[in-house]
Chain A
Amino acid sequence: MEPKCVHYTDQRMKRFLLLLIPWMVMASTASAAQIRSAEVVFTHFGAISERAIRVADECYVPLTFLAKVGWKYTVKNSSVAIEAEPRGARVPIREFELGPAIPLRMALEQMGAETFWEPDNDKLQVCSPVTKIEVSGNKVQIETHLTTRPRVFRLTGPNRFVVDIPGARLTRDTVQQIEGNGVRVSQIELNTVRVAFEPGYRPSLPVIPGLGTSFKWELDPDEDPGTPDEPPAPPPVKVEPVVKVAPDPNLGPKTVAGPLTLDLESSNRVMVSLKLSGILGKPAQFRRPEPDVLEIVLWNTQVSVPDSASFNSASITDISVRDEGPNAILALKLARPMGVELSPGLTNLGIVLMKPNVGDGKLAGKVVVVDAGHGGHDSGAKSPLNDAFEKNLTLKIAKQLSERLANEGATVIMTRKTDVFIELKERAEIANRNQANFFISCHINSNKLSNSTSGGITFYHKDDPIGQLLADCIQREIGKVSGLKSIGTWSDGRIYESGFSVLRNSKMPAVLVEFGFINHNVDRKRMMTDDFQRDVASAIVKGLKVYLGDGN
């Protein structure tokens, strides 16, 4: 009986295989069409020179790749057993043009690594999850799942020490036990985790920790003042003519930057990266000379970028570079005003452009909450002779603004129309309850020394690129008509860490405008005129329309 059974099974198997042949041919033809050359960026190793191919979402690498990343392996029949820390893997072998190859993502998944394809290209990032970051007293401990090689170095602006872990990712499972306020943990790039220490402290030696999965330091006082911080860039009113100067030998060798590559372009964001030959001596900064022009200031850098025509992005319509002293200015002309975030890395500068949600792009139909600061028993700032109060000026301007917004077809909600006190949290809550599109808060500034400071500032909530864009659009228009100096736009985190209550609690793009200084004679006299109040109200409406692209 038994031999018969075997014979019968063999026959069934043969018939099954014959039926499979056409499907296998079709499948292999289809997959051959999807095979593309790929690149693997592997934790701290960086880009691996071995050839790799992408088949759908899998990445196949030759067996020689395994030795390159320090793995031992044993081939058994048609599979490979890999020995690696912290745990091994077993995967099948497939034959490709590059020879016997293994599915790398399958192997890494078994090992507990994180892998992902970069958007819009065939570069596979292999990262180690960070399992634990603990800061207790002056002791720091960082643990990673796979072997990594952290880098410890000093940054400026402010002067502080940071630990970067290239080829690492923060995950939902990363345990963060951080005591005190002085340490920040962030994913500064897709594949780099940064731990930034409080200024005034430095990790104990060795600052070059080497390879490993567990790293410990103690924080020692840091007496070195470091390189002085770069002063904030002046408000860019117009583009200065190009001034070429000879290289300053005191600045050291220039950082070489370029090319500029497009990593992602979606309906709401654009990500580009500028390759750098090294770390910039000072952090890159950006400014917005026009709402749709972005200028990135690169300290002591020489930049080469692709020709605009060859840079295939609908959001960036022109690219140019010029020198400004020893610095390079990378200028991007945008299809429309966008929020900006710079994320500096070890070998590149990430530039993230955020497209604001402008609906139909018209001010008409939008809901705008207009907030007149202070009121009732809360007079706000006062003039030196107590003859002018912030609460009265803000109400007058808020009424002018409301009238003009209504004329444009916007739905206007005022937080107060009379001299009454409204709690800070309630002001933002009014905007949230009404699902407003914008929140505009009107205020008047003060400085202890009369006549010492003059001009207007528009605040946005810290780390809010869209709020910053709105503030830039509005302050730019106010500066044109107010007759007072434009100090610029400021993050509210500059006043205190938590920012302003009304901006922090509003769930829509929100700004707080300080029109001028009540204890500066020129500012006060100007702000008390009907002309000023009308003009700045119209300027805010104009700024909103620029932000929305209304009327272009």
Chain B
Amino acid sequence: MATKKKQKTSKGPMIGLLAIGAIGLAVLAAYVKFGGADKIPTEVKRVPAIQQPASNKTKPDQVTLITPTREGTDLNLGKHQSDVPAGENPMLFALNHFLRESKIVPDDARAVGMQVKDHVALVDVSPSFNQSYGSMDEETLLKGICATLAQFPEVEKVQFFVEGKVVGSLGNVDLSEPISVRPKPENP
């Protein structure tokens, strides 16, 4: 009897452990199937370290907003994090913030639509955006727009359109072809 009783008690913990393990596996499978794991875009998973500086990492529902200032001839691009309002496209939200803060483009000039195709951000802008500026304002606009879009790993280049037509330039820089949002620094 004593032996039988001992055998009965030794099976209990084993069954319990197996049950816990099975529940754990089921929870993990459910997370992979229905949880957030499969919602990470492929592009983000594949981004090599060189394209995504640690300092630029934001929460998924946050973006970095750029505000330009000048000290003499030096351009500074101030950055801060902001939540993206519900239902807003994060890229458009960040880009229009920059355009508004630049105080260069007319008040009604804004990005009205955007799609990313083959890593090129194709930005539809309102007609009032399409004009040319002095080289210092052109520098502010191009560097600010590039810095804004460079936070999105899937964007490598940008091109602007007004009512389906390419914006050729904002002054002196040729924009008829997409330009890189991560331009090389001036010095090698």
Contact = CB atoms under 8 A, between A and B. Distances in A.
Contacts of A445: 134-136
Contact of A380 (B171, B174, B183): B171
A498 B182 CA distance: 12
A444 B53 CA distance: 37
A310 B70 CA distance: 49
Nearest to A494: B186
A496 interface: yes
Interface in B39-89: 48-51, 53-55, 68, 70, 72-73
A496 B133 contact: no
A496 B50 contact: no
A545 to B, nearest CB: 26
A221 interface: yes
Contacts of A497: 179-180, 183-184
B184 A443 contact: no
A181 B181 CA distance: 10
B172 interface: yes
Which of A220, A423, A497, A504 has the most CB atoms of chain B within a 10 A radius of its CB?
A497
A453 B73 contact: yes
Contacts of B70: 447-449, 452-453
Interface string B108-150: 0000000000000000000000011111111110110000000
B172 A501 contact: yes
Interface in A195-222: 196, 198-201, 218-221
A381 interface: yes
A405 B168 CA distance: 31
B174 A374 contact: no
Contacts of A92: none
B159 interface: no
Nearest to B101: A448
Contact of B134 (A158, A179, A196, A443): A443
B73 A500 contact: no
A157 B137 CA distance: 24
A452 B55 CA distance: 32
B22 interface: no
Nearest to A447: B136
A388 B135 CA distance: 17
A381 B50 contact: no
Given A182-B50, A462-B186, A424 B136 contact: no
24 contacts: A137-B48, A137-B50, A180-B48, A181-B183, A182-B50, A184-B188, A219-B49, A221-B54, A378-B131, A378-B132, A380-B134, A390-B132, A446-B133, A446-B136, A448-B70, A448-B137, A453-B136, A494-B186, A495-B135, A495-B172, A496-B179, A500-B173, A501-B172, A512-B135
Interface of A: 135-138, 157-158, 160, 179-182, 184, 186, 194, 196, 198-201, 218-221, 223, 283, 374, 378-381, 390, 423-425, 443-449, 452-453, 457, 459, 462, 487, 491-502, 504, 512, 514, 517-518
Given A157-B187, A497-B184, A501-B174, 14 more contacts: A136-B48, A158-B187, A181-B180, A181-B182, A378-B131, A381-B171, A449-B70, A453-B70, A453-B73, A492-B172, A495-B139, A498-B173, A504-B174, A512-B172
Interface of B: 48-51, 53-55, 68, 70, 72-73, 102-104, 131-140, 142-143, 168-169, 171-174, 179-180, 182-188
A-B pairs, top 8 by smallest CB distance, nearest first, are: A137-B48, A446-B134, A497-B183, A138-B49, A445-B134, A501-B174, A500-B172, A381-B134
